[in-house]
Amino acid sequence: MKLIADEMLGKLSKWLRFIGYDTEYFSGGPDAELLLQAKSEGRIILTRDYELFMNSKQGLTVVFIRFDKLKDQLSQIKNELNLMNLSEKFQRCSQCNRTLSSVEKDFVKGMIPPYILKTKDEFKYCDHCRKVYWSGSHSKHINDLIEEIFNE
């Protein structure tokens, strides 16, 4: 399943990437470009823009996000799109949506704090934006929220 979130849903798109869903974040362009990209890439549109929601039924699936809070937004999407697959968690770059690669410790040397290099053994890397990921307290918090929502 491929998604595209409008400019009002940057945080949501990041969290959908954490879960493992291919989620593009569309920011700063006209609605017509968003619709064209969604159609050409076969993406489901996520929006907080009611006007866009009402005027974009041209063979596209559009979900109007009704809630302000992230947890409620994720629950809504889980229920409306029947998101159940959590097998791809932490496989996408939260910044650019690309698939991450597993890399060896030697590869990330000099790219991360020395303490992390000493205490962690598994790393993921984004070839596009050159961001390094590892399991830490932040990933536990993210995982706990995901599990809470998907086990409701």
pLDDT, one tens digit per residue, over 99-122 is 999 999 999 999 999 999 999 999
Q: Which of residues 14 and 137 earns the better pLDDT score?
A: 14
* pLDDT at residue 120 in the model: 94
* pLDDT at residue 34 in the model: 94
Tell me the domains of the chain and their CATH numbers. 2-81 (3.40.50), 99-134 (no CATH)
**What is the distance between the alpha carbons of residues 4 and 106, in angstroms, rounded to a whole number?**
35
pLDDT averaged over every residue in the chain: 93
pTM over 0.85: yes
Residue 14's CB is within 10 A of a number of other CB atoms, namely: 19
* pLDDT at residue 107 in the model: 96
- What is the average pLDDT across 75-80? 95
Q: How confident is the model at residue 95 (pLDDT cuts 50, 70, 90)?
A: very high
**What is the distance between the alpha carbons of residues 80 and 152, in angstroms, rounded to a whole number?**
14
- What is the average pLDDT across 52-64? 86
**In angstroms, how far is CA 133 from the centroid of its own chain?**
15
